[in-house]
Amino acid sequence: MKRVQLLVLIVLVCPHLFGQTRVKPGFNLFSPAQDVEIGEKSAEEIERQLPIIEASAVQDYIGQIGHRLGEVIQGPDFPYQFKVTNLSDINAFALPGGYMYINRGLIEAASTEAELAGVMAQEMAHVALRHGTNQASKAYLAQAGFGILGGLFGGNSSTGQVVEAVGGFGLNAVFLKFSRSAEEQADIVGAQTLARAGYDPVAMADFFEMMRAQSGRDPGKFEQFFSTHPAPANRARRIEEEARLLGDPRPVSPVGGLDKIQQELGRLPEAPSMQEAMQKGDGSRDTGSGGDTSAGGGKSPDLDRIEPPSAQLKAYQSRNGVFRIRYPSNWTPTSTDDGAGVTFVPDGGMVTLSSGERSIVYGMIVGEFDPTASRSNEGGDAREPFSRNDQLGRASNIFLRGLVQDNNYLKLLRTSDDLILDGAEALSATLEGRSPVTGQQERVVVFTRALVNDQLIYLIVVAPTQQYSELMHPLRRILSSLSVYDQAMNNR
């Protein structure tokens, strides 16, 4: 749960002095070669889940546009590859290293080749600016802290270890969902690439405006695009401004034939949406760890089959020696790589999503939290859950902010500040909301206790609301069994 907010520098040099806007990529732990490795492994997983259109004319047409853009885009020399997915959503996405997928719905919605090229150029700009691995770098540092930098740069951590730590390969949101500032960067570099390739950059602005206008009338077709591509302020105006700075594009004949490609696509059976395609495929992945089930982008796990927690408890000692706790004997503990945290789940309590990410739907998490390394430690809210202005209250508020930011379906129900855990004051908060994984109401109860060095030990209990009552009795015994060893913190 450790988070750290890193400043991604966007250098916007005075356009009237230098012509086009200069954009500087952000911090990155990965090399360009590792971007390609990540993209290749992710593409292998994605193509087992998404339907790919094999029609050669369609693929050739998209490939020719992509090749034209790839010849002029600035940045690392990535081996850009382009494939068309048989999906109705108006969207496209690109993986690190240049593996790009264009939905059939996007091709059918484009009025001109320049509009289609505009979306492709914007996606390629994310690749060239290495936004995906920039986000993965920040996410990994947030989990592992700056202490891992020496090991990474010394070659002691593989690409796979780092990527799996932030969600794994495949349709990993960390590679595909960008901030508004990253979108603005990609808009700028995409417009520049379009101009160099002979397309009018304003076509990209026109297409984005069309999508924005139509999204209210048919939100389902555009939902995926806007969820992963949040629109910067004044998007169209900023692209048009960049187009003026670039001047008239050099005249180049289009690849040509968009209308024929759209006719060919129109003769195919109706395309499913991304959600429908993911539901049809099994989307499962055997992780080899106890307690996993799968949710293929919409399949709900059978929560009724999860056994109630056993009255018999087993002892667990954290590998770093900071805490000891007891847990139901029919739950399986899985320790984090650094030994600072552990997840306890019954069989079926952990879901492996089609993206490769893992989500706990029933069970318990225990770990440490450093508020100074959290991306939620700035600002604050006048309606903070806990009013006490001490180490425990401040750190607990930061922790809860981050939890709700990462799980925005959860709403705070109540708090309590009269708890004692292992002889020290503790706080608790109860949250609830409809889980996007199970489709059921889910209850999450958080307990926090101060450690030395301004850190926290936290315990999170997760269960469907209807089944939470069966956890209450064993939970009291679990909480009373917690032992914290501050000396182990001091010895690190």
Sheet holding 358-360, edge to edge: 292-295, 350-353, 358-360
Q: Do 230 and 319 reside in the same domain of the chain? A: no
Does 10 reside within a domain? no
Per-residue pLDDT band at 215 (split at 50, 70, 90) = low
Q: Do 388 and 458 reside in the same domain of the chain? A: yes
Q: Do 412 and 266 reside in the same domain of the chain? A: no
Q: What is the pLDDT of residue 16?
A: 34
Q: Do 257 and 122 reside in the same domain of the chain? A: yes
d(CA 396, CA 416): 12
- Phi/psi for 232 (5° steps) reads -65, 160
Least confident stretch, 51-60, 233-242, 318-327, 362-371: 233-242
Interval 145-179: pLDDT, tens: 444 444 444 444 567 777 776 677 877 777 888 88
* CA nearest to 410, candidates 466, 458, 462, 344: 462
Least confident stretch, 310-324, 333-347, 367-381, 439-453: 367-381
Listed residues 250, 279, 308: the one ending a domain:
279
Q: Do 47 and 159 reside in the same domain of the chain? A: yes
Mean pLDDT of 426-447: 90
For 424-464, the three-class secondary structure string (H helix, E strand, C coil) is: EEEEEEEEEEECCCCCCEEEEEEEEEECHHHCEEEEEEEEE
| Residue 355 predicted with pLDDT over 60 | no
Q: What is the DSSP letter of 171?
A: S
In the chain, what percentage of residues exceed pLDDT 90? 41
Listed residues 226, 245, 279: the one ending a domain:
279
Q: Do 274 and 371 reside in the same domain of the chain? A: no
Q: Which helix (H) or strand (E) holds 16?
A: helix 15-18
Q: Do 341 and 427 reside in the same domain of the chain? A: yes
Q: Is the entire prediction scored with pTM above 0.75?
A: no
Q: Which helix (H) or strand (E) holds 61?
A: helix 56-72
Does 274 reside within a domain? yes
| Residue 199 predicted with pLDDT over 90 | yes
Does 4 reside within a domain? no
Domain that holds residue 344: 288-490
Q: 473: domain CATH number?
A: 3.40.1000.10
For 10, residues 6+ apart whose C-beta sits below 8 A from its C-beta are 23, 24, 181, 184, 185
Interval 23-72: pLDDT, tens: 888 888 899 999 999 999 999 888 888 899 988 899 999 999 999 999 99
Tally of structural domains, the chain: 2
d(CA 84, CA 102): 5
Q: Do 27 and 120 reside in the same domain of the chain? A: yes
Q: Do 171 and 55 reside in the same domain of the chain? A: yes
Q: Do 82 and 64 reside in the same domain of the chain? A: yes
Q: What is the DSSP string of 237-260?
A: HHHHHHHHHH-SPPP------HHH
Listed residues 231, 254, 279: the one ending a domain:
279
| Residue 5 predicted with pLDDT over 70 | no
Q: Do 33 and 174 reside in the same domain of the chain? A: yes
